[in-house]
Amino acid sequence: MTTGLWDRETFVENFRAIGERAYHDKHPFHIAMNAGRLSAEALRGWVANRFYYQQNIPIKDAAILSNCPVREVRQVWIHRVIDHDGSAVAEGGIEAWLCLGEACGLSRDEMMQDRHLQPGVRFAVDAYVNFARTQLWPIAVASSLTELFAPDLMTARLAAFEKFYPRIDSRGLDYFRQRTSQARRDSDEALAIALKYCNTPELQREAVRALEFKCDVLWSMLNAIHHAYAGNC
């Protein structure tokens, strides 16, 4: 095993290898979802629990902003908070996810009050926020690189929902549509930052480990959701 600095291609390849092995599109619950095998209740359970993740994304990204002393990086990063929180001129991802929940039969109140939140999901999401707060900011940036794999997942998910869950109003799927392009831009930005600032052998390896950690967060969420709603699928 080499201990030196990876060239750019090797570094990127090591990120991609994590995704191929550990990204949550390979989780049994996600496979069942995209194969149309989830009950309406299981789907609602997934949407309601994943909402806790969505709510915490701007908190996580603001933590990265707050840990980063490089103004140019903050200038690139800040739109993520606005993309999820929304602004006076545009609804954000959190609002879009609430619409998805409503299209699945959940009320805003039960989502906002975390009424369906599973302890294992809270645990995993809180661990992710805590990671972003406490790690070096280039490492926290690297942990967001699951976005490298998100556009393909979003495209497949959108097609699966339209095919297998036709009772969900198509407007409820806008979050997936938005994220397909947003995730591509976001991962380009995050990858450029990670490649530039994870600039020692140690930081490179920590960055890859951070992406693995993030995959574990997403995987653990699905474990908890699977256990609660779809033990038999």
Binding site for a second copy (CB under 8 A): 55, 58-60, 62-63, 65-69, 71, 74-75, 78, 81-82, 85-88, 94, 133
Taking the least distance from each CB to a second copy, the nearer of 27 and 80 is 80
Question: Position of tokens 């480990």?
Answer: 209
Q: What is the rounded CA–CA span in Å between residue 219 and residue 169? A: 27
Shortest CB 109 distance to a second copy, Å: 15
Shortest CB 188 distance to a second copy, Å: 16
Taking the least distance from each CB to a second copy, the nearer of 1 and 88 is 88
Taking the least distance from each CB to a second copy, the nearer of 34 and 83 is 83
Shortest CB 185 distance to a second copy, Å: 14
Under a CB-based contact definition with an 8 Å cutoff, are residues 135 and 209 in contact?
no
Taking the least distance from each CB to a second copy, the nearer of 114 and 212 is 114
Taking the least distance from each CB to a second copy, the nearer of 87 and 181 is 87
Under a CB-based contact definition with an 8 Å cutoff, are residues 158 and 180 in contact?
yes
Shortest CB 141 distance to a second copy, Å: 14
Q: What is the rounded CA–CA span in Å between residue 29 and residue 140? A: 27
State how far the alpha carbon of 19 is from the alpha carbons of 75, 106, 195, 207, in Å: 27, 31, 17, 13
194: nearest Cα among 148, 126, 152: 148
Residue 167 is given by DSSP the state: T
Take residue 157 and report the two structure tokens written for it: 């998910």
Under a CB-based contact definition with an 8 Å cutoff, are residues 29 and 225 in contact?
yes
Shortest CB 177 distance to a second copy, Å: 21
| CA dihedral angle for residue 139, residue 95, residue 221, residue 46, rounded to 10 degrees | -160
Take residue 124 and report the two structure tokens written for it: 């995993």
Give residue 156's identity as a one-letter amino acid code: A
Taking the least distance from each CB to a second copy, the nearer of 10 and 87 is 87
Shortest CB 31 distance to a second copy, Å: 32
User: What's CA 183's distance to the chain center, in Å?
Assistant: 9
Spatial CB neighbours of 164, under 8 Å, sequence gap ≥ 6: 35, 36
Taking the least distance from each CB to a second copy, the nearer of 85 and 186 is 85
Shortest CB 138 distance to a second copy, Å: 16
